[in-house]
Amino acid sequence: MYKACNASLPLESYTTGNDSITITARRHHFFICGVPGHCQGGQKVDINVPRISAIDIAPTPSALVSPSSDPTTKTPAPSSNAAAAVVATKSHDLFVLGLAALIFVVFGYSNLA
């Protein structure tokens, strides 16, 4: 039904245009637009929520280490390297975009005048 864009027997139907769907089952979920021509035009989505295996939920070796004998010792919060990388990437992209705009203004504008 999904690949053929057949919307004749939907499991659910949403019509407000502002619908929200909470996915709770770990499996494939398929959604298509039932308006004629929309699905064929690409208005469809396949969401795969994988099942959790025992390997996925096994504790890391650092989680198995016994706590310190000193109860006042506090472990620092983990650093957000991933967030820092995203910010750095966005900052780098913004810098490159600004530099390109500056080069265009200086060299491109003078060639147009």
Farthest-apart Cα atoms in the chain, separation: 75
pLDDT one-digit tens code per residue, 12-56: 898 888 888 898 889 988 999 999 999 999 999 999 998 887 666
Whether 108 shows a pLDDT value over 60: the answer reads: no
- DSSP 8-state secondary structure symbol assigned to residue 93: H
> Do 46 and 89 sit in the same domain of this protein?
no
In this structure, the answer to whether residues 47 and 94 fall within a common structural domain is: no
Q: Which two tokens stand for residue 68?
A: 């310190």
Are residues 1 and 49 both part of a single domain?
yes
pLDDT of residue 44: 92
How much is the mean pLDDT over the chain? 72
Tell me the pLDDT tens digit for each residue of 45-61.
999 998 887 666 666 66
- Classified as helix, coil or strand, 64 is helix
User: Domain range for residue 11?
Assistant: 1-53
78 lies in a domain?
Answer: no
> Distance from first CA to last CA of the chain, Å, rounded?
59
